[in-house]
Structure 1
Amino acid sequence: MSQTASQSVPPSSPSSTPSASAEVAPAFSPLYQQIKALIMRGLQGGEWKPGEAIPSELDLAARFKVSQGTVRKAIDELAAENLLVRRQGKGTFVATHNEQKIQYRFLRLQPEEGAPQPMQREFLDCRRLRAPADIVRSLDLRSGDMVVQLRRTLSQAGRPVVLDDIWLPGSLFKGLTAERLTEYRGPLYSLFESEFGVRMIRAEEKIRAIAADRSVAALLGVADGAPLLSVERLSLTYGDRPVELRRGLYNTTQHHYRNELS
C-alpha cells in the first residue's frame, strides 16, 4: 500500500503528498503526524461535528492512501489529547464537552477528602463592553472590539470555592445573555460548543498566590487578606486561536490544585 496521502488529487500532481495536503504538516514530519493534521483539518472545518462518529480506520486509510496502522497511530494521539473518543464496539467519535471525563478537564481543583463532586454555579454578571487593552492582547483582538464579560461563583455544599471572571470575543458569542446562562443546566463549555460552535481544545495557565481584598473576600466568604490561588487560564480552539480568558480565584481551605506531570 502506498505511503502517501491525498484527497482527490491526481497521482501525477505534486500535491499528492500528505505534506502538500496539510499546510500545518511539514514535509519532514512523520507520516502519522501528517495524517493527524489532515484529520484535524476535518475537525476544524466541521466535517465531523462534536459527538459524531468519524470514518473507520479502514475508510480513512483508503481515503489518505496509507496503512491502517498509520491512521491508528494518528487517532491514538488525537484520543490522548481528548479530541476524539474511542468507544469499544461502536467506533471513534468527536469528543464533546458533554463527555463526563472531559467536562471538567481544565478545572484542577480537588477536595481534600473524597471524590470530586460537581459544583453549583451562580452567575453574578454578564455584559458586553469594549475590550480592555490587556484583554485585547490576550485574545488577539483589535482595539475597539467587543467582548462578553461573565462573573460567576462555583460552590460546593453551599460554600463558594471559585470566583471566575471570564472574557469571550463578542463576535463569537452573539446572543449570549445572563438569561441564557442561567437557564442552561449543562457545562459552560458544552453551551459554547453546541450553541456558538466554539470548542475549547486546550488551555494554558498561570498560577500565583494572592491575598483576598474586601470585595473578593465577601463573595468567597473568607476573611480580608485570606490566601487565595489565582489561576489565569487562556483557552484555545483549533489552530491555537484564543477564545476565552478566565481569571479564577480559588479558596483552597478545603481543596487543593492537582495536576499530573509526565
Structure 2
Amino acid sequence: MNLDLRLPLYQRLRDMLAAAVAEGQWRPGDAIPSEADLSKRHGVAIGTVRKAVDQLVAEGVLDRQQGRGTFVKRTRFNASMFRFFRFQSETGERRIPVSRILRREAMPAPSAVASALRIRPREGVIHLVRLRLIDDLPLLAEDIWLPRARFEPLLAVDPGEFGDLLYPLYEERCEQVVVSAEETLTVETADTMKARLLRLQPHAPLIVIERLAYDLARQPLEWRRSRGAADKFRYHVEIR
C-alpha cells in the first residue's frame, strides 16, 4: 500500500494494520500479534504500536480483551434490530429471525441505489428481497442492494444456502467484510406488496430502518431498507 509519509508514524502504522485487516490477513475473530511482536516487526517503539492499536480500537476495528489479547472485531449488526423490533417467540424468548430470500436479481443500478453505493449510474448491482420470520410469522421485509463487482460470487450461491445472517456470507464467499454502518429510521405506510409480505392491512404504518454498511476504507458495501409493522416497533436508549 502507498503510505503518506507526511502522516505521524503511529498513523502510518495504523493504516498498515488496517490494510492487513482489509486484505484478509487477519479475519474477524482472529488475534493480532502482540504489541511487542508488532514493535519488532515494524521497527517502532511499543508506544507507537499502542497508539496505533488504540486508534483502531476506538474506530471499532479491533477489540481488546483483558488477559487474552487484541482481536479483529466481529461486528454484530443483528443486535440493532433487537433495539428496534421485538424479535421474540410466544414465550418471550429472544431469537434471531429465520431469513428467506424471495428474489435475487442482477440489474443496472437505479439512480438512488447508485448514489447510496457511490457507483456509476446503471452500474451492475445485485438486488435481494428478503423476508425475516419467527415461527413462520413475517416480521421484516427487506430490500438489499450490493455492488455486483464486489459480490459476483453470490449469484452462484443457491438462495436456500444464504443462511439467516448475511454478513458472514459476504465474508466467506466474497471476502467483503462489513466493519461499520449508519442507520436512519423513518415511517411510511405499507403498499400492496409490503402489506401482503408482512400480512398487514394495506396502508398499515411501517417503520423503515435504512442501513448503509461500509468496509474498512469507508466504501459502501451494502444498502438495505428493512420494513416492519409499527406495532412491533420499540425504541430503547439509556441516557446518563
Distance in 1 (CA, whole Å) between partners of 2:186 and 2:6 is 37
The total of aligned residue pairs comes to: 236
The one of 55, 71, 84 aligned to 1:109: 84
The one of 35, 54, 78 aligned to 2:56: 78
Q: Greater shift after overlay, 205-214 or 108-117?
A: 108-117
- Secondary structure of 1:203's aligned partner: strand
Alpha carbons of structure 1 residues 105 and 22: separation in structure 2 relative to 1, 3 Å: farther
CA apart distance, 1:160: 1.4
AA matched with 1:214: T
CA apart distance, 1:204: 1.8
AA matched with 1:109: F
Q: Superposed, which structure 2 residues align to 1:244-255 within 5 Å? A: 244-255=222-233
CA apart distance, 1:87: 4.4
Distance in 2 (CA, whole Å) between partners of 1:204 and 1:165 is 16
Q: Superposed, which structure 2 residues align to 1:94-105 within 5 Å? A: 94-96=72-74, 102=76, 104-105=78-79
AA matched with 2:137: R
Residue 123 of structure 1 corresponds to which residue in structure 2?
101
Matched, 1:218 2:196: yes
AA matched with 1:155: L
CA apart distance, 1:73: 4.4
- Secondary structure of 1:171's aligned partner: helix
Residue 139 of structure 2 corresponds to which residue in structure 1?
161
Distance in 2 (CA, whole Å) between partners of 1:206 and 1:105 is 15
Structure 1 residues not aligned, in runs of 5+: 1-6, 8-20
Distance in 1 (CA, whole Å) between partners of 2:156 and 2:141 is 17
Alpha carbons of structure 1 residues 86 and 175: separation in structure 2 relative to 1, 3 Å: same
Cα deviations across residues 73-132 of structure 1 (Å, max 9, x unaligned)? Answer: 4434433544223445443232345xxxx2524534342885642111111101111111
Structure 2 residues not aligned, in runs of 5+: none
Alpha carbons of structure 1 residues 159 and 184: separation in structure 2 relative to 1, 3 Å: same
Contact 2:22 2:177 (C-alpha < 8 Å) held by counterparts: no
Q: TM-score, normalised by structure 1?
A: 0.76
Contact 1:126 1:178 (C-alpha < 8 Å) held by counterparts: no
Residue 183 of structure 1 corresponds to which residue in structure 2?
161
RMSD: 3.0
Q: TM-score, normalised by structure 2?
A: 0.83
CA apart distance, 1:234: 1.1
Alpha carbons of structure 1 residues 26 and 231: separation in structure 2 relative to 1, 3 Å: farther
Alpha carbons of structure 1 residues 177 and 191: separation in structure 2 relative to 1, 3 Å: same
Choose between structure 1 and 2 for higher RCO, CA contacts under 8 A separated by at least 6 residues: 2
Percent identity between the aligned chains? Answer: 33
Contact 1:230 1:248 (C-alpha < 8 Å) held by counterparts: yes
Contact 1:106 1:203 (C-alpha < 8 Å) held by counterparts: no
Contact 2:99 2:164 (C-alpha < 8 Å) held by counterparts: no
